[in-house]
Amino acid sequence: MTTMEMPGQGHNPQGGARPALPMDRADAVLVLEDGFALSGKAFGASGRTLGEVVFSTGMTGYQESLTDPSYHRQILVMTAPHIGNTGMNTTDPESNQIWVAGYVVRDPARRASNWRAESDLEEELVRHGIVGISDVDTRALTLHIRQAGALRGGIFSGDALPVGAENLEPHAVAALRSIIQDSPRMAGAALSAEVSTKTPYVIAPTGEFPGGSPRAVLAALDLGVKSRTPEILASLGVEVHVFPADSTLIDLQSINPDGVFFSNGPGDPSAATHEIELLREVLDAGLPYFGICFGNQLLGRALGYGTYKLVYGHRGVNQPVLDRRTGKVEITAHNHGFAVDMPLGEASVTPFCNGKYGRAEVTHIGLNDNVVEGLRCLDIPAFSVQYHPEAAAGPHDASHLFNDFLQMMLQHRCEKPTGKADA
């Protein structure tokens, strides 16, 4: 794979000169599996990339989205027309790499113009080998996805662009479409192991709580965790032990945890057989549980409810969610293509093993389409939300959930003085 040169000069807040984006870009095309195609210009690395094409309605936070492991194997379309103005830095990433399979923008900024910028967006896309496309009608693309649903697609540029494709000639588009149709689907994909940490690590309490005994000890299963999540918990005085996705209950219990957390992540929850079985073992052990996004879907399936693929998913930092317990509407950050299928009315007996886990209720509902955005068990200490209360970037309306989980762990420890749940 080759990358393009970026001539020109721009301001570098760290000192020296920085290349501006090129005026003359190479040709690129975006093709969806149903034959929808757009011609544009190469942005980032040149070559070929395939993935599920999804869109984000966020007006900000592109760096956080790019580095969110939940976007693994997805081509991300930004609905905001102008992208790249704030550049990239080493403070805001949610992981140590860019995870999107490809990137689609309408109007890339010519250069970063922000005092926190340490590099340009395109520089980082090239460095991480991310194939992108610019100068396309992202509004038309988004409207098509909203009507047709999330589709597999591909971006092609450089040596991967066949003759005639730049003009969307039918034979060339058909050839690219055939490549896309042979690519794997997101439905049925088990991806946690591909994005999870390979070795455990610990994040010590911070803020007001460094150096002393932690308020609680947490076992966090990394299914594609965003760095912001353990940081928030650590700021509350929680010692967070992050474990790989293939960990066992023995691994989690080795630290004598006060609770267990399952993170966000990519893939189809119905394919996460190991994670679901592990979560049932966690519930059987009586350990308090909190899940976010993928962790919410897994709780639903562990309880015996189903999950289903959304037509085009929820992605952005501006999604209204009703907290049914308080009656308040919270503006929340989302990134999910699957949802839990459970009754929206009164509490129901959980289907797994004839109600083994007691009753559960839907606590949060997405106001745009009535999708389940949170659930809580009524007879065991477990709850989860579909959206992202850590909200980086985005609103902090739901950040109280982390303290809610801390209080659940502290209460459970008081009820079990040894700090260890019954096995």
Catalytic residues: 293, 388, 390
Backbone angles phi, psi at 274, to 5 degrees: -60, -45
Q: Is the dihedral of CA 239, 243, 245, 247 positive or negative?
A: negative
How many other C-beta atoms can be found within 10 angstroms of the C-beta atom of residue 1?
13
Burial class (CB in 10 A: 0-12, 13-18, 19+), 194: middle
CA-CA distances (angstroms) from residue 421 to 98, 208, 237, 413, 414? 38, 28, 21, 8, 11
Q: Are 27 and 39 in contact (CB under 8 A)?
A: yes
**SS3 assignment, position 253:** helix
Beta strands in 65-141 (DSSP E): 74-78, 82-83, 102-104, 107-108, 131-134
**Tokens coding 161:** 């662009």
| Token pair of 362 as six digits | 């839907």
